[in-house]
Structure 1
Amino acid sequence: MSVKDERRIDVASPTLAAGDAQASPAAASSSLTERIIAALRTVHDPEIPVNIYDLGLIYRIAPKQQGLVEIDMTLTAPGCPVAGEMLKWVEAAVNGVEGVGTVDVSLVFDPPWDKSRMSEDVQLELGLI
């Protein structure tokens, strides 16, 4: 399954992070991105018992030089009462990934989130398919 094609998430090709210097560039970028995604899966939407990655709230993951990671995310609804807190949860989770030094999380609303962004497993779990 291709994350970018099926989930419509922009996963930029990262520049090597400090901890990935011994690995090949392709393996290092894949490994760092996989670790970031695993960290994102530890953050759950408080109103829906699903992690934010599989819920489809993550729009872009872009590892950069010197351990910087840029993340664009959205909310299921613009008026989410924990919006500010959720950004901090994402930052804290990704900051714990080896090779990540700084996390810049941006809240975006274009395109608007809808249930088609959820993984099939989540849609099935929530009884939507």
Structure 2
Amino acid sequence: MKGGEEEEEEECVEWGCQVQGHRCVCEERECESHTPLLSEDACYDTLKKVLCNNVICPEVRTQSCPADSFLTHSFTPPGHCCPLVVAQCTCNFQLCSPEPTSCPEDTRPQLVAKGDGHPGTCCHRYECVREED
């Protein structure tokens, strides 16, 4: 201490979230509180468990996708109990083969199946076919 001045104590403040009513409230508060604070993600997880405890979501059938596509993830926005967007098959266009640039002698590339961008028929299919005179 200097010249009789008292050192000021720094105020202890912490930031976190807690469930209040039907929402997560995130704020700073004094450290002396005995109620534990949560991270924002943990608060929303807790809130969802509380709000969704007695909710029964419609059953969604798990599907398998064709080889040219993959299954997306369902999406449940914060504050909702059930998915608003269900998982679905989506084309993986990186698996599509390009039109061949070369074929064996006396053959040429030909489109044999036109892809329509839907799972199972995502990509065009080409084959080397014999050239006709």
Higher percent of residues as strand = 2
What's the TM-score bracket when you normalise by the shorter of the two chains? under 0.3
Largest Rg, 1 or 2: 2
Structure with bigger RCO (C-alpha 8 Å, 6+ apart): 1
Higher percent of residues as helix = 1
